[in-house]
Structure 1
Amino acid sequence: MASDDIAQLADALSKTHVGDGELSYKGQGLKLDDAESVEELVREIEQSQGLRSLCLEGNTVGVEAARAIAKALGSKDLLQRCYWSDMFTGRLRSEIPTALRFLGGALMSAGARLTELDLSDNAFGPDGVKGIEQLLKSPSCHTLRELKLNNCGMGIGGGKILSEALIECHRKSSALGAPLRLRVFVAGRNRLENEGASALARAFQLMGSLEEVHMPQNGINYAGVMALASAMRHNPELRTLNFNDNTFTKKGTMAMAQALRHLRNVQVINFGDCLVRSEGAIAIAAVLREGLPILKELNLSFGEVTEAAALVVAQAVMDKPHMEKVDLNGNSLGEEGCEALREVMENSNKGDMLASLSDDEGEPDDEDEDEDEDDEEDDDDDEDDGDDDASDDCNEDNEADGEIMKENGTSRKDDSPEKPQSPAEVVSFLSCPSAEKLLQLGEMRTNLQEHVTASDPHRAALVFVKIASLYREDPETKTAVLETIDAVLKKLLSGSALQSYSFLSALLVMMGLLRGEGKMKKASLTPGQLLCLEHAVQQEYFAEHHASLLHSFTSRNSEALKCCSSAGERLSSALEKKCQH
């Protein structure tokens, strides 16, 4: 070893922090190539009685150097924390798995029981995961509480290997009566994509012990997000969810919203740069209304959220006593929308909670409204019903009604009890609605409730629009329409906030007041639809927060309501009165 290298190492060792069982060489920039280059380091490890923490971060360790360090670690049975991030800079990728096997093997031989393992910022790829595979499966990791693999380039293959290792570790530890209880998992910037994320979701669901999950920037879209969301709901102690810079779209966000309904301890949600969009933001707002009691931070930045949806979110956080930060920067609010959002927050003495809006994208262009739909949404069966324009085009409505009929048989997919086959008159009405048919139904109008369910908000919105479009001022028709509307809405708005908000957002999309995803076409807006809503808003079943949601959109879509100006004014007046109560 050259004399200048020895001097460098001696100087570095003089700065080494030793105490409380910790030995740290953090950021020393040591180039450790072989056994000779680590002689002093090895001696310090050997002489450290009760060694519980070893930090090698910010150095570069070769295979032979790792072998020598491993030999020294072979007797350190009290070691619990290994901070080994950024310690292979400049090494061949083929070297890293071998070096990791040496180090991991030493921990297993020593009988160490790790609580924390940090291998972040080591670009070792799937082969690197293979290098720690046996360690992760061993008793040395049965006690693991924090696993950090940020920016390691694991890829799909590495994610699958890691998942299987964690599942095996959980299986073996459970057999010994002390199952793996991993609390912190960090794996951002790893190109896990859907397959890798879905594989890890299986491990997360099995463990059920996670408190923090950080998986930003992994190229995950809604399929992987849905798998992760399903796993998250089985981890009741979750405090931090960070999926920044993946692609949720509506389906992913709705799945995450459903998961959040089951979690009471979440303090930080980071869905920034995840394309949650307005419908997704409304769903998150619904969960805020009825849950997440100790939430501190919410990040929905850079998600194509429009002004009205942002205001719905703002209103939902007002009663959160622990709330510290709401980030809606980089969305599509426009200058007036940004000002309106600031005003709402400041009027409630929450102005300091709102993050900067300096990167707002401005109001979306109308001509781009249907151009940003994701290809993966196009084949969504739940959206297909919306293809039917809710006008009087009976041929287009037949397909949707055929789907409605399926709900009354054994093909139902929701949790509702099986319902009897509807009378032919009801089916005929839904296929081609008319005021005459509605009146002829008489008491059978109550059967129309059976064709709406909170689990299918788009179909429910379609049924509402069909009925409301028949509104007339003659007393008999008016009474029939409003009684039917009352029955339908009372059912749809009596469930959870997430269910009712999902229906209302679907209705807003269908009426052209909210930009949606998928292939659902807008209905032809009629005065009857607005007058039915005006009536409904005044009823007891229509809660103030439901009115507030609608008011956020109708008050900011005056152009869309111009074709029904009188009815629009009546609805706006009713909404304002309800919101003031």
Structure 2
Amino acid sequence: MATDDIAQLADALSKTHVGDGELSYKGLGLKLDSEQSVKDIVQEIDQYQDLRALRLEGNTLGVEAAHAIAKALEKKDLLQRCYWSDIFTGRLRSEIPTALHSLGSALMCAGAWLTELDLSDNAFGPDGVKGIEQLLKSPTCHTLKELRLNNCGMGIGGGKILANALIECHRESSALGAPLKLKVFMAGRNRLENEGASALAKAFKLMGSLEEVHMPQNGINYTGVMALASAMRYNPELRVLNFNDNTFTKRGTLAMAQALKHLKNIQVINFGDCLVRSEGAIALAAVLKEGLPILKELNLSFGEITEAAALVIAQATAEKFHMEKLDLNGNCLGEEGCEALREVMEQREKGEMLASLSDDEGEPEEEDDEDDADENDSGNEIDEDECGSGKKEGFINEDSPTKPTCSAEVMAFITSPTVEKLLQLGETRVNVQQQVETSDPHKAAELLMKVAALYHDEPEAKEAVLETIDGVMKKCLSGSDLQSYCFLSTLLVIMGLLKGEGKVKKMSLVPGQLLCLEHAVQQNYFKPDYTSLLYTFLSKNTEALKSCSSARDKLMSTLENTLNSEEN
């Protein structure tokens, strides 16, 4: 080693922090190639009797240097925390697995019990994961609480290797009576995609101990998101969920919403840049209404959410006592929508909670409903019992009972509703509601609108239609708020008041349908929250109801009166 290099190393080591069981070389920028280059570091490690934490971040280790440090670590059985992020800058990718294997083997040889392992910002790829595979499976990691692997380029293959190692670690530790209880998992920017995410989901479900999960920017779309959502519900102590910059769309968001129903300890949700869209936002608002009691932060930025859906989210978060930040920046609100959002928050004295809206995309242009971005996805499909009904639309199955068989007359009416068929059913028309599948909101909403279109001033026909409407609506709104909000949002899509995903056939509205809604909102089964949701969308999309102006005005008046009476 040149004299100048030795002097530089000596100066760097003079700044080394030693104390509280920690030896730190963090951020010294040392280029450590040979055994000689780490001679002083090895000596310090050797002499540190109670070494519990070793920081090597921000230096670069070659194979020989790593091997020398590893030899020193073979005697450090008290070591618990390894902060080894960004330690291979400028190294050949073929070198890294060997260096990692040396370090891991040393920890295993020492009989150390790790609680924290940080290998972030090391672009080691799948081969690098192989370099730590044995370490992760070993008793040294049975006590692991925090695992950080951000920006490591693991890819699908690395994700699978990591998942299998964690599963093996849990199996072996459980057999010894002390199962692995990982609390913090970070693996952002790793190109895990659906297969890698789904593999890790199996490990997460098995452990059930996670408190923080950070997996931003991994190229995961709805199939991987659904697998992760299914696993999250088995981790009741979760406090932080960060899936920023993946692609949820409706199916993924609904699966996440269902998972969140089971998580009472969530404090931070980051679904920013996840293409949550308006239908997904409404589903999340439903979960906010009935759960998440200690939520502090919600990020739904850059998600193609429109004004009315954003307002529904704002109204729901404003009721949360612990809420500190709501981020809806970069959505499709428009100037008036941004102002309306600020006004809603100010009225509830929560103005300071709303993040900047400086990157708003403006109101969306009118266009035909696009195909769901996930239609042709080639990722692994998820079993139906993992994520709900498994229907193409991605709706929620909340264990609805099997629908009973019915007469040919009832089926004929459901297939092609007419006033004559409805009247002919007589008292048996009560069986119509029994055929409604609440797990398929689209079919339920479509049937409701078809029946409502039969509305007639003739007393007998009017009574039959409203009685049927009450039965169907009551059944669709009798489940959880999430199920009910999914049904109502689907109804809004069919009415042309909300842009949905995929090819959804909108109905040409007739006055009778709005008059049936006007009747429904006055019934006991129609909760105030549902009235507020309907009012928010109708008041922002009056153009869609232009062809039924008189019925629209009557419906709006009833909604306003109902909301006012609730406030008073």
Q: TM-score, normalised by structure 2?
A: 0.96
1:547 to 531, 538, 554: 531
Shift of 1:372: 6.1
SS of equivalent residue, structure 1 residue 376: coil
Q: Deviations over 1:489-541 (max 9, x none)?
A: 11111211001000000000011110001222101111111100000111111
CA distance 1:505–1:384, change in 2 (3 Å): closer
Q: 1:471 aligns with which of 455, 471, 475?
A: 455
Cα 1:488–1:257 change in 2 (3 A) is same
2:455–2:512 Cα contact (<8 Å) kept: yes
Structure 1 residue 319 and structure 2 residue 319: aligned?
Answer: yes
2:406 is aligned with 1:422: yes
Structure 1 equivalent of residue 293 of structure 2: 293
**2: CA distance, partners of 1:358 / 1:301:** 11
2:543 equivalent to 1:559: yes
Q: What is the alpha-carbon distance in structure 2 between the residues aligned to residue 544 and residue 527 of structure 1?
A: 23
CA RMSD of aligned residues (A): 1.5
Residues 320-367 of structure 1, C-alpha deviation per residue, up to 9 Å, x if partnerless?
110000000000011100000000000110000000000000111102
2:418 maps to which residue? 434
Indicate the SS of the match to 2:213: strand
1:385: Cα distance to partner? 12
Quote the Cα distance in structure 2 between the aligned partners of 1:272 and 1:336. Answer: 22
- Tell me how far apart the structure 1 counterparts of residues 23 and 376 of structure 2 sit (CA, whole Å): 52
Distance 1:234 1:457 in 2: 26
Alignment partner, residue 410 of structure 1: none
Which residue does 1:35 correspond to in 2?
Answer: 35
Deviation at 1:88, TM superposition (A): 0.3
The answer (yes or no) to whether the contact 2:535–2:556 under 8 Å persists in 1 is yes
Question: Do the aligned residues in 1 keep the contact of 2:403 with 2:437 (CA within 8 Å)?
Answer: no
Structure-1 residue corresponding to 2:146: 146
2:141 maps to 1:157: no
Which residue in the other structure is 2:69 paired with? Answer: 69
- Partner of residue 517, structure 1: 501
Give the C-alpha shift of residue 377 in structure 1: 7.0
Matched, 1:528 2:512: yes
User: 2:178 aligns to what?
Assistant: 178
1:193-208 equivalences under 5 Å are 193-208=193-208
Change (3 A) 1:378 1:577: farther
Q: CA deviation at 1:430?
A: 1.4
Q: CA 1:383–1:224 in 2, change beyond 3 Å: closer, same or farther?
A: closer
State how far apart, in whole Å, the 2-side matches of 1:509 and 1:24 are. 58
Alpha-carbon distance in structure 2 between the residues aligned to 1:110 and 1:223: 42
1:104-503 equivalence runs, <5 A:
104-367=104-367, 369-371=368-370, 373-376=372-375, 382=391, 415-503=399-487
CA distance in 1, matches of 2:10, 2:289: 60
Mark the runs of 5 or more structure 2 residues left unpaired by the alignment.
Answer: 379-388
Change (3 A) 1:296 1:377: farther
What CA distance in whole angstroms lies between the structure 1 residues aligned with 2:289 and 2:402?
30
C-alpha distance in structure 2 between counterparts of 1:94 and 1:170, whole Å: 29
Q: Structure 1's 381 and 96: CA in aligned 2 closer, same or farther, altered over 3 A?
A: closer
CA contact (8 A) 1:384 1:519 kept: no
Shift in Å, 1:277: 0.3
The DSSP-based 3-state class of the residue aligned with 2:122 is coil
Per-residue deviation at 1:422?
1.1
Give the counterpart letter for 2:222 in structure 1. Y
On the 8 A contact 2:413/2:421 being kept in 1, the answer is yes
- How many angstroms apart in 2 are the aligned matches of 1:252 and 1:477? 42
Q: What does residue 47 of structure 2 align with?
A: 47
Alignment check: 8 A CA contact 1:377 1:518 kept: no
Question: 2:258 aligns to what SS in structure 1?
Answer: helix
Contact 2:545 2:552 in 1 (8 A): yes
Q: Distance in 1 between matches of 2:400 and 2:121?
A: 49
**Counterpart AA for 2:188:** G
1:207 Cα deviation from its structure 2 partner:
0.2
The alpha-carbon distance between structure 1 residues 122 and 208, as it changes in their structure 2 partners (threshold 3 A), is same
Residue in 2 that maps onto 1:86: 86
Residue 378 to residue 189, structure 1, CA distance change in 2 (3 Å): closer
CA distance in 2 between partners of 1:143 and 1:385 (Å): 38
User: Which deviations, in whole Å up to 9, do the C-alpha atoms of 1:70-93 show, x marking residues without a partner?
Assistant: 000010000000000000000000
After superposition, the C-alpha distances for 1:137-177 in whole angstroms (9 at most, x for unaligned) are: 00000000000000000000000000000000000000000
- Residue identity opposite 1:577 in structure 2: N
Q: 1:429 to 1:381 in 2, by over 3 A?
A: farther
Give, in angstroms, the shift of residue 381 of structure 1. 8.1
Deviation at 1:577, TM superposition (A): 1.4
Match of 2:9 in 1: 9
| 1:371, distance to aligned residue in structure 2 (A) | 3.2
Q: Could you say if the C-alpha distance between residues 385 and 325 of structure 1 is closer, same or farther in structure 2, counting changes exceeding 3 Å? A: closer
Answer whether contact 1:188 1:217 (CA < 8 A) is retained: yes
What amino acid does structure 1 have at the position aligned with 2:487?
F
SS at match of 1:206: helix
Take 1:573 and 1:58, find their aligned partners in 2: how far apart are those partners? 65
2-side partners of 1:107 and 1:177: how far apart?
22
Tell me what 1:575 maps to: 559
> Does the 8 A contact of 1:378 with 1:518 survive in 2?
no
Rounded Cα–Cα distance in structure 2 between residues aligned with 1:548 and 1:385: 25
Indicate conservation of the 8 Å contact 1:492/1:500, yes or no: yes
Map of 1:102 onto structure 2: 102
Residues in 1 aligned to 2:356 and 2:318: alpha-carbon distance in whole angstroms = 18
| Whole-angstrom CA distance in 1 between matches of 2:168 and 2:175 | 11
Q: Contact 1:129–1:162 at 8 Å: present in 2 too?
A: yes
Residue 375 of structure 1: how far off its partner (Å): 4.4
Post-superposition offset of 1:420: 3.0
CA distance in 2, matches of 1:91, 1:32: 11
Name the CA distance, whole Å, in 2 between partners of 1:542 and 1:420: 25
- What SS does the aligned partner of 2:375 have? helix
Given residue 312 of structure 1, which amino acid in structure 2 is its aligned partner?
Answer: V
User: Would you say how many aligned residue pairs link Structure 1 and Structure 2?
Assistant: 554
Contact 1:384/1:520 (<8 A) preserved: no
Mean CA deviation greater in 431-440 or 147-156: 431-440
Query: Displacement of 1:383 after TM fit?
Result: 5.2
CA distance in 1, matches of 2:4, 2:234: 55
Aligned residue identity for 2:375: E
Compute the displacement of 1:419 (Å).
3.5
The answer on whether the counterparts of 1:282 and 1:505 sit within 8 Å (CA) in structure 2 is yes
